[in-house]
């Protein structure tokens, strides 16, 4: 049986990542000499999982997302070979979030289902709940597909959701503005940027700014991924999230 290796600097880095202080987290990774292409060892597994978390947090950089996805694949194989179930569950959770941010919801749900299947017998909750709104969104999608029904409802409650079909704006860390919702709906059409600008009677730069904010709030990096995420959150209804 291996000890649970959790170096204090890596724990601090996780706090920075959760706080959005990615500059400090990046400094930690550089100081430790960590990269996504390192040879993996059990003694640095926690650090490399933390590195993957940092790369995922840089969700506006698609290159970082793909680096995280590749690193998580290698970490998963190593953890499975070592029989480290807790780590396997955490890595699967992160893989689900990575696929979600890349716009591949079916793959995200497949990773989540594997994680939930392993977690349920042991009663793991925090590993899901600590991931916040993005995980709540995936859990809602899993519930709709009747994946581990009662357990998923328990996890949803732990994330702060009821598991019922309420206002999905709660699944976003920051809600979309009315104008961002207008742009989002037009992103789901065949209109290009200039056409969207003409439709809304704004400049192309304004459309680009709104689009950048939409991507950030939805934690995606492409138009297709934004639409998939919006559909998952039921944001495309004409009256969704409008203020009275």
The CATH number covering residue 83 comes to 1.25.40.10
Residues 114 and 40 grouped into a single domain: yes
Same domain, 47 and 68: yes
| Gap between the Cα atoms of 83 and 70, Å rounded | 20
pLDDT of residue 113: 94
Same domain, 138 and 181: no
Q: Residue 203 maps to which CATH number?
A: 1.10.10.10
- Residues 16, 129, single domain; the answer is yes
Last residue of a domain, one of 117, 136, 168: 168
Examine the domain organization and report whether 107 and 91 are in the same domain.
yes
Task: Tell whether 99 and 152 lie within a shared domain.
Answer: yes
- Give me the pLDDT at residue 7, please: 76
Count of structural domains, the chain: 2
Task: Evaluate whether residue 201 is within a structural domain.
Answer: yes
Same domain, 126 and 206: no
Whole domain around residue 197: which residue ranges? 174-232
Among 168, 194, 209, identify where a domain stops.
168
Contacts 24+ apart (CB under 8 A), 155-160: 155/116, 155/125, 155/128, 155/129, 158/125, 158/126, 158/128, 158/129, 159/128, 159/129, 159/131, 159/132, 159/133, 159/135, 160/136
The pLDDT value recorded for residue 240 is 46
Q: Judge whether 128 lies within some domain.
A: yes
pLDDT on residue 59: 65
Which residues make Cβ contacts (< 8 Å) with residue 238, sequence separation at least 6? Answer: 185
Residue 179 lies in a domain: yes
Asked if residue 109 belongs to a domain, the reply is yes
Query: Residue 20's pLDDT is what?
Result: 79
Same domain, 143 and 28: yes
pLDDT tens over the chain, length 244 residues: 445 556 788 888 888 888 778 888 899 999 999 999 999 999 999 999 999 999 998 866 788 889 999 999 999 999 999 999 999 999 999 999 999 888 888 999 999 999 999 999 888 888 898 888 889 889 988 988 888 778 898 898 888 743 333 333 335 556 788 888 889 989 888 888 999 999 999 999 999 999 988 887 777 778 888 887 787 777 775 544 444 3
26 and 42 inside one domain: yes
Six token digits for residue 118: 């392993």
| CA gap 179, 111 in Å, rounded | 34
Statement to judge: residues 213 and 95 lie in one domain:
no
């Amino acid at each position: 049986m291996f000890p649970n290796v959790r170096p204090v600097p890596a724990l601090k880095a996780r706090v920075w990542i959760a706080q959005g202080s990615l500059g400090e987290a990046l400094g930690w990774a550089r100081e430790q000499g960590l990269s996504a292409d390192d040879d993996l060892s059990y003694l640095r597994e926690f650090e490399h999982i933390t590195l993957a978390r940092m790369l995922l947090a840089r969700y506006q950089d698609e290159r970082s997302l793909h680096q995280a996805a590749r690193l998580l694949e290698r970490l998963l194989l190593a953890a499975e070979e070592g029989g480290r179930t807790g780590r396997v569950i955490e890595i699967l959770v992160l893989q689900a979030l990575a696929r979600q941010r890349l716009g591949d919801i079916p793959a995200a749900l497949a990773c989540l289902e594997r994680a939930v299947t392993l977690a349920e017998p042991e009663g793991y909750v925090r590993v899901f709940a600590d991931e916040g709104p993005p995980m709540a969104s995936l859990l809602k999608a899993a519930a709709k597909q009747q994946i581990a029904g009662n357990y998923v409802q328990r996890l949803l409650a732990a994330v702060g959701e009821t598991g019922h079909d309420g206002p999905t704006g709660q699944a976003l860390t920051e809600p979309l503005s009315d104008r961002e919702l207008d742009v989002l709906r037009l992103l789901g059409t065949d209109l290009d940027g200039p056409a969207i600008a003409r439709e809304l009677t704004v400049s192309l730069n304004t459309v680009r700014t709104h689009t950048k904010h939409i991507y950030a709030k939805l934690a995606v990096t492409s138009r297709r991924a934004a639409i998939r995420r919006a559909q998952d959150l039921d944001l495309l209804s004409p009256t969704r999230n409008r203020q009275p």
